[in-house]
Amino acid sequence: MLNYRIYRAALMGLFLAAVIAAPVSGQPKDIDGWGNIRWGMTLEQAKTQLVGSPVRETKDEEGVPTLVIDNFQIYDGLVAEVHINARAKDPRGIWDISLEPTVIGKLVIKKDPNTDRADRVIEGARRQVFDHLKRLLIEKYGDPKSNETRQDNQYALNPQEVTTVLWVLSSTSIHLHLVVPTRFDNPRYRLPGWLLIEYTVVEKSAL
């Protein structure tokens, strides 16, 4: 049964990778969610679209329920942790889905800032994954609305470079985030970076 679930998750990952990588012609097609998950669904409805995938339910830092898919294959060799989020006690349902790459090949690129320290090899690998994902998203959705890189020097002993690429469609915004440490000479304060793809509903009232 476990192998079947992993197989189904891998198939879903390959399908979504194909969707990401499909070339765009003219105006990018709108998307109303992620994969088979549609904005406004409840978590229970989302579960029915993920039958066969290794889904677990947990709560975020604020106690809001969320669905998690571990070891989700975005494309061959790249595995991510997926979080499907719904507003607590809100009839509008699912509004945000994030994918955090965790492993590329055999290299673990998701690190715990509470226990791990930044490593130049891992940070370099994470940046390569970011560049590849950015190319795939551009091929699918065209040029991003914005592409910003800034230096975050809030903590002098742990400066970071923060890059955010944004695509905005009629129903969905897509953020590609990359945070990279820029100082490696102080192991005590050498916090690791992170990488995230985030799909978020576009509130019609905001248009």
For residues 82-106, give the mean pLDDT: 89
List, for residues 33-71, the tens digit of each pLDDT value: 999 999 999 999 999 999 888 899 998 878 888 999 999
Which of 7 and 31 is assigned the larger pLDDT?
31
Distances (CA, A) of 113 to 27, 179, 181, 194: 40, 12, 12, 10
3-class secondary-structure state, position 172: strand
- Share above pLDDT 70 across residues of the chain, in percent, rounded to a whole number: 79
For residues 23-35, give the mean pLDDT: 74
Q: Is the pTM of this model over 0.85?
A: no
Residue 3 has pLDDT above 70, yes or no: no
Contact 193, 178 (CB under 8 A): yes
Among candidates 195, 194, 197, 193, which has minimal Cα distance to 175? Answer: 197
pLDDT in the model for residue 195: 97
Span of 2-6, 25-29, 109-113, 203-207 with lowest mean pLDDT: 2-6
Contact 163, 146 (CB under 8 A): no
List, for residues 123-170, the tens digit of each pLDDT value: 999 999 999 999 999 999 999 999 999 988 776 667 889 999 999 999
Residue 90 has pLDDT above 60, yes or no: yes
- How far, in Å, CA of 144 to CA of 167, rounded? 5
pLDDT in the model for residue 91: 67
Residue 137: CA count within 13 A, CB half-sphere: 25
pLDDT in the model for residue 55: 94
Which of 204 and 180 is assigned the larger pLDDT?
180
Contact 13, 72 (CB under 8 A): yes
Residue 173 has pLDDT above 70, yes or no: yes
Residue 182 has pLDDT above 90, yes or no: no
